[in-house]
Amino acid sequence: MIPVKGFAGHKVAVLGLGRSGLATARALIAGGATPLCWDDNPEARARAEAEGLTCVDLSRDGAFDAVAALIVSPGIPHLYPVPNPVVRKALEAGVPVDNDIGLFFRSLATPGWATFDTVPRVIAVTGSNGKSTTAALIDHILREAGRPVQLAGNIGRGVLDLDPPGEGGVVVLELSSYQTELARALTPDVGVFTNLSPDHLDRHAGMGGYFAAKRRLFAEGGPERAVIGVDETEGLFLAGQLAEGPGDDRVIRISSGRKLSGPGWHVFARKGFLSEYRKGRQVGSIDLRAIKGLPGAHNHQNACAAYAATRALGLSPKAIEAGMHSYPGLPHRSQLVAEAGGVTYVNDSKATNVDSVLKALAAFDRVRWICGGLEKEGGLDALNAAKGSVVKAYVIGREAAGFAMQLDVEAEVCTTMARAVERAMAEAQPGETVLLAPAAASFDQYDNFERRGEDFMAELRARLPQ
């Protein structure tokens, strides 16, 4: 646990009692503060009270009297589309609003660090797509290289639930826009920006607000090194803002699909090969084509980001390559589930927006595509750019018929996962891939994308030869 600093002897309100909220309350107690907890869900409050935590209705008048701060869980809106009523009460009372990420950065360092030969480092990864894979890959590479490392944030453990890092320790954080937007302290040693595509636009009032939320990771203190994906205009702009000149190697530019040139520090992937250039000279390369845990151009971008981040910590290209070859991949993210009868089965349930699905479809030549669910803003027209790789779509979800009508490929309305898997397997030919890449949220049929992916794999297991 990371005890929270700066609130000893004070009351601190905690809104939202999921994983991060409970970890925050415990860490506040460890730091000498008194947490006042609230969640609209009675079951969440009951779990907190069973731990001995005090629950107080933060929506009542006077709830913020003598309260030093309000700590908000990531899923609770604090600005757009409208602030949560409890957040508004805190703001009206002049009470600072923060989240567990902000508390983590203000509380991580200890006086004991002065005795370390190698102080702990923090790598923070944000972006629209690939940040989970990138963070997990960085964690895996460091672990394989013998570095003490912990993975947390939007993946793994809550940040305040981590063990205080020791000599040479590394903390790898995956941070969503919800987390970076509100944190009052953001001071990683290495910051990674993978890419940007439309997502969560209602929460950020459009693309400008969404980019601004991501950009805060690099603007609220500034990392020593910034790894920036420059395949989108926003990333190109961000790299330009951070660099003092073309040769400033504090900024490592990365790309998937094109060669980067110039006097700076560049890592890019083309035709399955990763290359590292510094001061105009190639200093490292990796053949990514044989790495099963990283299929497709989108994963090659993740590989570039992980390579750059771990190089920034001093790992050799050889050590990084060895770690990549043993990387097993993340569940529900381009996850190879099975190969049978010449057909490959891939679970990419995390592909919930159009951009991530385009990248998933581009990774394979002939796809039997299982898609559908709770449609996000922006429509599906952009998916037609990848229709050449799709043999047929099998559409699930409560609004499957309407979803199917927007696709410019042959589509069969299946509604349920069981029916979609049955039909795709029945029609799949050797050399084809049955791919779950929904291009939609899961909440019309499942609690989360993990449950959707698990259902896909369960239906496959029930039908594949054992």
* Residue list for the binding site for ATP: 127-133
Tell me phi and psi for residue 414, to 5 degrees. -110, -30
- Cβ neighbours for 207, distance < 8 A, ≥ 6 positions apart: 196, 198, 201
Nearest to 328 by CA among 300, 293, 294: 293
Q: Which residues are annotated as a binding site?
A: 127-133
What is the C-alpha end-to-end distance of the chain, expressed in Å?
43
CA-closest candidate to residue 84, choices 203, 198, 1: 203
Residue pair 382/406 in contact (Cβ under 8 Å)? The answer is no
Question: Bridge-partner residues for 398, per DSSP?
Answer: none
H or E stretch including 337? strand 335-340
Residue for token digits 């953001």?
A: 186
- Dmax (CA) of the chain: 68
CA 136 to chain centre: 10
Q: Would the CA dihedral through 409, 410, 416, 421 be positive or negative?
A: negative
Kindly give the pairing relationship between strand 343-347 and strand 335-340.
Answer: antiparallel
